[in-house]
Amino acid sequence: MTPRPVPLRPAVADLPAYVPGARAPVGAAAYKLSSNENPYPPLPAVVAAIADAAADANRYPDMYATELTAALAATLGVAPESVVTGCGSVAVLGHVLVAVCAAGDEVVIPWRSFEAYPIAVAVAGATAVPVPVTDDGRLDLVAMAAAVTERTRVVVVCTPNNPTGPAVRADELETLLAAVPSDVLVVLDEAYVEFVRDPHAPDGLAVLAAHRNVVLLRTFSKAYGLAGLRVGYAVARPRLAAGIRATSTPFGVSHVAQRAAVVSLGATAQLMDRVESVVAERARLLDGLRRQGWTVPDSQANFVWLPLGDRAAAFAADAARAGVLVRPFAGDGVRVSVGEPEATDLLLDVTADWSERRSA
């Protein structure tokens, strides 16, 4: 009998590959602006907590991250039963989708947006319904509301939008929420919320308090500088949170990650000073680009977007040769994380050269 391969689910076999940000080859030196990482290392107290927690690596972590959950609840002003932690906000999103979606259900997503969205939707057995962002990189919430059908179970709102950068406005979001049926879940993915300075942006916690069908996703990866430890969380009404928690991976957040997050949360004021430095560097980068003649979206995150279309790969190659690693999205553009001032200077040298070539 001829052996037959074990079949994969069609949705899994057709999954697009998640493309991570480029890393410098071993032995090479380059500024890594390809993964939206915080350029600052963890605080010394956090490093000490990590080292101390590593001694207990032979033990399973607290499955419910009790101390971290309580600290988050106190910080956010919600009940502990409203917080669900997980292995990064993208993993928590997967748990959310598994909790509410069944085969044949639809999930409305913006596009281009976070490239893990179509993957997470397909893994949950649902169908992604992408809605194009506007020419200036903003989510088209009117079009997203219009894309909702009787099969829609979730609408994902990425604010600020990754990779283009703008945040949605409070009035736009309220219009969307008024149009979406109350039994359709609206997920506000706020991975970059700490970097938002737009006065018209919504207060996610206030939106959550006013709407029973809203879930917030947040993370310690960006503003708190713990990308390598993978700690994210959802905030939802207790009934929804219980469902998300039920689908979560047991022991999904390591003891090391929990301790690092707790100590980082206790040092929020110091870490937000670092965020302010990133925001200032973002402003310098955006100003430099616009002075060179670039038209770029108003980023409210820790990255900027260069709408280069089919020239994205060529730009990324030139940047890499100059010592700066960026993230190209074929056919759309290039995302550049905000990093060290020296990295900004190098990047602006590359963009200046491209700007001169465009005008030649």
For residue 360, the model assigns a pLDDT of 55
Q: How far apart are CA 162 and CA 153, in angstroms?
A: 22
Strand order in the sheet with 327-329: 303-306, 333-337, 327-329
Q: Find all residues with CB under 8 Å of 308, minimum gap 6, and list them.
A: 315, 328, 332, 333, 334
- The label of the residue with tokens 């979560």 reads 248
Q: How far apart are CA 211 and CA 121, in angstroms?
A: 23
> For 165-179, what is each residue's pLDDT tens digit?
999 999 999 999 999
For residue 359, the model assigns a pLDDT of 63
The CATH superfamily assigned to 10-32+269-359 is Aspartate Aminotransferase, domain 1 (3.90.1150.10)
Positions in the chain short of pLDDT 50: none
> For 288-334, what is each residue's pLDDT tens digit?
999 999 999 999 999 999 999 999 999 999 999 999 999 999 999 99
User: What class, spelled out in words, does domain 44-267 have in CATH?
Assistant: alpha beta
CB neighbours of residue 68 within 10 Å: 24
**Which residues, listed in sequence order, are joined to residue 192 by a DSSP beta bridge?**
none
Q: Name the packing angle between helices 44-54 and 255-266 (round to 10°).
A: 160
Q: How many residues appear in the chain?
A: 360
Structural domain boundaries of the chain?
10-32+269-359, 44-267
